[in-house]
């Protein structure tokens, strides 16, 4: 067993590694090394915590760590990049549920200590946590109770919210916004009841208050995320990431674990900052995101007139051969078809022919922040031709050909033209200003978010139907 000095030193080292990991993820070239910083930091944190003072029951803990490690390794090896958003949502739910269980157990231990003290039974058989509780003054125990309440509320909201986000991302739950009659009033009422239960608990009410608090919080998390449309899921995933961090931090205070506090605060603050950045990118109100108050329409959306005009591979290749500048806009459809390598080869051939080729990346392209950047980096697309929306949007009027691969909402002109659209006011890539737009799409459906796109009906747009990878592969032999 290690002394507290070793554990404290390990906590500082792990915290530094976590900070380095977060900092490195801001740069694609340093991201792989940053991930290793995080892996090593977590290994140090788990090892030194497990063998720290007051820790026992290794006969149970070591097998559970081994089982969890094997499951995590197998899941990570089997999950495709297209399923990464669902995996992230699922992992957030685990953190939330763990926070609820730990908080419940902390209160049971508190009650056990108080009962033993009332009977003057001592604390010889107390657990390490119970022994710590036995040393606390009454005001410190009140703070412990506050930490328990906060952990249960945030953890429960995170759990059910993440489960619904997983369902929507995986297509198992309808991506359209859905609310029960009463809408936000139900959420407000449930939150008010949670506050009442917290007051009763702090004034000596039984364990039942924490059970009801969790049940109401589970409902709030479920109803909040059910009310958010599929088009906004990237922001939701980021927001839930922040929630899971704050839940972990609350449990860190409860357990007097400095490393858990630091780690939770890093995750919570970075997730909140990312959510804010994404809200600005989507022209959403940050407070409304936190309250789950966006994603619904304000009225009937405008009718789309015209028809979608299809084109074959020969027609697309002919136009590309005559073009000087090409912009490619990737979306989740490219990830589903695993077309990134075919796209990379197309880019190589076009650049070899002397054409200017660049990528336009919307901040919420795909279903996870940075999703498209990771896929393109995996396919070895040069970093310097991958541009963000603000860097390239003004260049579309000077672009000969834009190829949209599996994107819908991020290239939808209704965001600018239709105030009743679910994505009204969201900044989008103005691809329709290009001379020609080719949309690589499986069929004529509205896609994951269920929002119709007038771009598909414009005169300068041609629909290149089919699986994205097969469609791009069919172009390769036709490019001069």
Number of neighbours of residue 426 by Cβ within 10 angstroms: 21
* Of the candidates 252, 384, 387, the residue with the CA atom closest to the CA atom of residue 330: 387
- Sequence-separated (6 or more) residues with CB below 8 Å from residue 183: 227
d(CA 373, CA 392): 15
Give the pLDDT confidence score for residue 47 in this predicted structure. 86
- Are residues 320 and 436 in contact, defined by beta-carbon separation less than 8 angstroms? no
Strand 386-388 and strand 401-405: the pairing is unpaired
Per-residue confidence in pLDDT tens, the chain, 480 aa: 556 677 788 888 998 999 899 888 776 667 788 889 999 999 998 888 888 776 777 888 889 989 988 998 888 888 876 677 788 888 889 999 999 999 999 999 888 888 877 777 554 566 667 777 777 888 888 888 999 999 999 999 999 999 998 888 877 887 777 888 887 889 889 999 999 999 999 998 999 999 999 999 999 999 988 887 766 777 788 888 888 899 989 888 888 888 889 889 999 998 888 888 877 777 777 777 666 554 444 556 667 777 889 999 999 999 999 999 999 999 888 988 889 999 999 999 999 999 999 999 998 887 777 778 888 888 889 988 999 998 999 999 999 999 999 888 889 998 888 888 877 888 899 999 999 999 998 877 666 666 788 999 999 999 999 999 999 999 998 987
Q: For residue 298, what pLDDT is reported?
A: 53
- Three-state secondary structure of 194-248: HHHHHHHHHCCCCCHHHHHHHHHHHHHHHHHHHCCCHHHHHHHHHHHHHHHHHHH
- Residues 6 or more apart whose Cβ sits within 8 Å of residue 73: none
Q: Which two tokens stand for residue 464?
A: 């290149």
Is residue 400 part of the annotated active site? The answer reads: no
d(CA 422, CA 296): 6
CA distance 207 to 216: 15
Strands 401-405 vs 325-330: parallel, antiparallel or unpaired: parallel
Beta carbons of 329 and 411 less than 8 angstroms apart: yes
What whole-number distance in Å separates Cα of residue 461 and Cα of residue 455?
7
3-state SS, residue 113: helix
Which residues are CB-contacts of 271 (< 8 A; sequence separation ≥ 6)?
Answer: 238, 239, 240, 241, 242, 243, 244, 245
Q: Which residues of 403-417 are buried (b: 16+ CB within 10 A; e: fewer)?
A: bbbbbbbbbbbbbee
Residue 285, pLDDT score: 73
Please give the DSSP secondary-structure letter assigned to residue 153. Answer: H
| Helices (runs of H) and strands (runs of E) counted in the chain | 18, 6
Q: Is residue 215 left, alpha or beta, with left meaning phi > 0 and alpha meaning psi from -120 to 50?
A: alpha
What count of Cα atoms within 13 Å lies in the side-chain half-sphere of residue 292?
26
Structure confidence at residue 289 (pLDDT): 65
Q: How far is it, in rounded angstroms, from Cα 56 to Cα 108?
A: 19
- Catalytic hit among 409, 417, 418, 473: 409
Residue 15, class by beta-carbon neighbours within 10 Å (0-12 exposed, 13-18 middle, 19+ buried)?
buried
Residue 294: predicted pLDDT: 47
């Amino acid at each position: 067993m290690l002394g507290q000095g070793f554990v404290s030193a390990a906590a500082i080292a792990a915290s530094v590694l976590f900070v380095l990991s977060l900092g490195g993820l801001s740069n694609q070239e340093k991201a792989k090394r940053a991930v290793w910083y995080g892996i090593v930091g977590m290994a140090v944190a788990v090892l030194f915590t497990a063998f720290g003072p007051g820790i026992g029951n290794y006969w149970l803990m070591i097998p559970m760590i081994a089982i969890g490690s094997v499951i995590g390794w197998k899941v990570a090896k089997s999950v495709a990049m297209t399923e990464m958003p669902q995996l992230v949502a699922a992992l957030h739910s685990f953190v939330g549920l763990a926070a609820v269980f730990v908080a419940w157990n902390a209160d049971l231990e508190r009650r056990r200590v108080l009962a033993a003290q009332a009977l003057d039974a001592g604390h010889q058989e107390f657990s390490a946590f119970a022994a710590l509780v036995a040393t606390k003054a009454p005001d410190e125990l009140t703070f412990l109770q506050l930490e328990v309440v906060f952990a249960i509320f945030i953890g429960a909201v995170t759990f059910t919210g993440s489960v619904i986000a997983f369902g929507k991302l995986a297509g198992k739950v309808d991506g359209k916004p859905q609310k029960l009659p009463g809408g936000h009033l139900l959420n407000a009422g449930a939150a008010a009841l949670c506050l009442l239960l917290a007051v009763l608990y702090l004034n000596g009410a039984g364990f039942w208050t924490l059970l009801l608090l969790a049940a109401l919080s589970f409902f709030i998390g479920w109803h909040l995320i059910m009310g958010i449309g599929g088009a906004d899921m990237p922001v939701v995933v980021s927001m839930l990431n922040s929630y899971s961090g704050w839940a972990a931090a609350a449990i860190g205070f409860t357990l007097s674990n400095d490393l858990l506090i630091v780690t939770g605060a890093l995750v919570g603050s970075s997730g909140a900052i990312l959510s804010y950045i994404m809200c600005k990118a989507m022209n959403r109100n940050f407070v409304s995101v936190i309250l789950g108050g966006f994603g619904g329409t304000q009225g009937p959306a405008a009718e789309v007139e015209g028809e979608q005009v299809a084109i074959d591979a020969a027609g697309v290749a002919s136009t590309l051969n005559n073009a000087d500048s090409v912009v490619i806009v990737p979306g989740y459809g490219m990830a589903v078809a695993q077309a990134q390598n075919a796209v990379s080869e197309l880019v190589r051939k076009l650049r070899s022919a002397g054409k200017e080729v660049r990528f336009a990346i919307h901040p919420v392209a795909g279903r996870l922040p940075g999703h498209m950047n990771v896929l393109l980096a995996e396919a070895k697309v040069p970093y310097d031709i991958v541009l963000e929306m603000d860097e390239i949007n003004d260049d579309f009027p000077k672009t000969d050909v834009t190829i949209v691969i599996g994107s819908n909402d991020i290239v939808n002109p209704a965001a600018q033209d239709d105030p009743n659209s679910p994505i009204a006011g969201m900044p989008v890539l103005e691809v329709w200003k290009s001379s020609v737009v080719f949309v690589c799409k499986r069929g004529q459906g509205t896609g994951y978010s269920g929002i119709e796109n007038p771009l598909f009906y414009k005169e300068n747009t041609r629909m290149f139907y089919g699986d994205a990878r097969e469609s791009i592969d069919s172009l390769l032999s036709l490019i001069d």
